[in-house]
Amino acid sequence: MNVLLSDWTGEFGLPPFAAISDEDFGPAFEAALAEARANIAVIAGATEAPTFANTIEAMELAEGLLDRVAGVFYNLAGADSTPAREALQRDLAPKMSAFSSEVTNNRALFSRIETLWQGRDGLGLTAEQARVLQLYRQMFVRSGALLEGAAAERLTAVKSRLAVLGTQFSQNLLADERAWFMPLAEADLEGLPDFVVASARAAGEEKGAGGPVVTLSRSLIVPFLQFSPRRALRQKAYEAWVARGANGDANDNRAIAAEILALRHERAQALGYASFADYKLEPEMAKTPAAVRDLLQRVWTPAKAKAMADAAILEARLHADGIAGPLEPWDWRYYSEQRRVAEHDLDESVLKPYLGLEAMLAACFDCANRLFGLEFRPLDTPLYHPDARAWEVSRAGQHIAVFIGDYFARGSKRSGAWCSAMRSQRKLGGEVRPIVVNICNFAKGDPALLSYDDARTLFHEFGHALHQMLSDVTYGFISGTSVARDFVELPSQLYEHWLEVPEVLEKHARHWQTGAPMPADMLQRLLAAGTYDQGFATVEFLSSAFVDLAFHEGTPPADPMQKQAEVLEGLGMPRAIRMRHATPHFAHVFSGDGYSSGYYSYMWSEVMDADAFAAFEEAGDAFDPAVAQRLERFILSAGGSEEPDALYTKFRGKMPGVEPLLKGRGLLDVA
């Protein structure tokens, strides 16, 4: 019996990772797809009049086995790829797309949903059921259920090709990141803090390079750019970093990006929309491209002014080093780090020993305990990789979730940080509690020491995890993070604020060797520097968001790189800052539809997260029980059970303006 298809009898129904082989996945997907097709056929072919139970609830459970197999496979494909998994992922992309199209193109099935929709007022539905019915119908219509004949067939082909291209984009990017590294001679280690040297040696060992190396992992290349006094090496590393996916070889993503944009536009027009941005934003909080552009522009003006002022200061430092010419992108982090030490007396090499991974995990868990009563018990169970760890999450003795953390960079893991669920919460058909996964790419060390930005990433992804773990809905379709894209970042960005609460750092930011707390003056300087370099960070982000919007707002560009250049020129992009994600490695936008025309979502959510944390500040306690209870009830546990603006208003009383965001980034009073 294929272990993926048998009952999982281990603790909490965890997948039996130790017994799963790559050869199991292909047959398991075939069996799971066959079962799902059979279940859908029964629902669509039923002779009984449609009811919510025999149609919507039946669909909720129809793909249970497929969800289970896919939940394991796609998590492993991203976090621990192998050649076999990559090959299967390429093979599955069109198959999974075809199955999705089969379901949404099923005329009999849509007819039953439409009958329920038209008669919804007489069905006696709960508010949650009414919302689920609305979202199912919306999914079918937006997938082309109203199209017929050649138009429907073409849309199916377009979606299949997009699935193939998104997978290829991701795998090309991973191949580039895995292949490149820059060997360092012992002399090249001069000026690097011990933690960077240790990370470079560990990376060299993993690559079998026989010595220290710099890789394209953000947790290694960024500190190298911050600390290395060797400008030529900084330039070489930086140019390799920004060239991912654009090296003119088999992994080049530029033509793929152009084809994706053209197909998305065709898809949107087939469904009656002027552009893909109009199509994509319709169900989001923003609703229209104009609303997105307005927000981005309101923040861009002060952010650019701040960045330009900072650039002049950093360029003066460059010239003081005897280097003529302008400040370049590979110079910014180096001179910004020097300025940070000079102005805030914050040396990251002195700060990091107080931000060990274990200490920051304890801080994440402690905040969750104080806010929501959650407790975390380590589990001794086989997982998919030796670096991964698991905890049982409980509250008042009741099982809530299993949480898996996988924190270190490796060649088999795609870059970035993310949260996913191997199993989502639901109550239909019996209570199902989630298995939630956080993936990061921190530099491995003994011990693993984090930068403050790394610690923020840890809290961010854990905020997503809380959204999954505390979900309390009946239907998996609206469980956890199944919400509007520009709402999904609210819980994650909000949780970052607890890293800035002084009592949290006083308790948990302790030196990994001595256990001594972070000195009070260092803590004060750290918090005082909270908005340091926000001109750079905001411009870096916003430029990517503007380019994403421009790609999808009108006729798709034949040459995305030319369009990217035009957008940046129109913005007056500062010379020494590049987009956070250039087109050939903009995985958020091109690895799938998730953040396409939606990279702005982080900033849209930030408007809310700044205002949401203000609710705790107004209560006079970052752990105020009443505010935390409202946060759980209306945001973290509610999933997609209501429109996001309705949920936020229930939590806060009103929707916020942009001022809290500008204040939080130190841009409120910038000219």
Query: pLDDT tens digits for 138-165?
Result: 999 999 999 999 999 999 999 999 999 9
Residue 188, both tokens: 């090249």
- For residue 394, give the H/E element and its range: strand 389-395
Say if residue 671's pLDDT is above 70.
no
Count of Cβ atoms closer than 10 Å to residue 278 Cβ = 20
220-279 pLDDT tens trace: 999 999 999 999 999 999 999 999 999 999 999 999 999 999 999 999 999 999 999 999
**What pLDDT digit, counting tens, does each position of 429-448 carry?**
999 999 999 999 999 888 99
SS3 state of residue 598: coil
Helices and strands in the chain, H and E counts: 27, 7
Residue 170: strand pairing partners? none
Placement of tokens 């005082």 in the chain: 528
Residue 164: its pLDDT value, please?
A: 97
Active-site option among 57, 60, 284, 461: 461
Residue-level length of the chain: 671
What is the share, in percent, of the chain residues with pLDDT greater than 70? 100
CA–CA separation, 95 vs 306, rounded Å? Answer: 49
Paired tokens of 411? 């060649």
Cβ(416)–Cβ(460) below 8 Å: no
Compute the distance between CA of residue 563 and CA of residue 569 in angstroms, rounded to an integer: 10
pLDDT band at 670 (very low <50, low <70, confident <90, very high): confident
Provide the pLDDT for residue 364: 98
Tell me the CB-side half-sphere exposure of residue 237, using CA atoms within 13 A: 31
pLDDT beyond 70 at 428: yes
Residue 539 has a pLDDT of 98
Could you give the dihedral angle defined by the CA atoms of residues 557, 78, 640 and 7, in that order, rounded to the nearest 10 degrees?
140
Give alpha helix (H) positions in 425-478.
452-469
The whole-number pLDDT of residue 379 equals 98
Residue 127, helix vs strand vs coil: helix
Q: Encode pLDDT of 311-359 as tens digits.
A: 999 999 999 999 998 999 999 999 999 999 999 998 888 999 999 999 9
- Domains along the sequence of the chain with CATH: 11-104+106-142 (1.20.1050.40), 181-242 (no CATH), 254-346+533-599 (1.10.1370.10)
**Tokens linked to 104:** 């949404």
- So what's the pLDDT on residue 57? 98
* pLDDT tens sequence across 557-587: 999 999 999 999 999 999 999 999 999 999 9
206: annotated active-site residue:
no
β-bridge mates for residue 328, sequence order: none
DSSP code, position 249: S
Residue 612 to residues 368, 496, 541, 581, 649, Cα–Cα distance (Å): 16, 12, 22, 28, 10
Q: What pLDDT score was predicted for residue 305?
A: 97
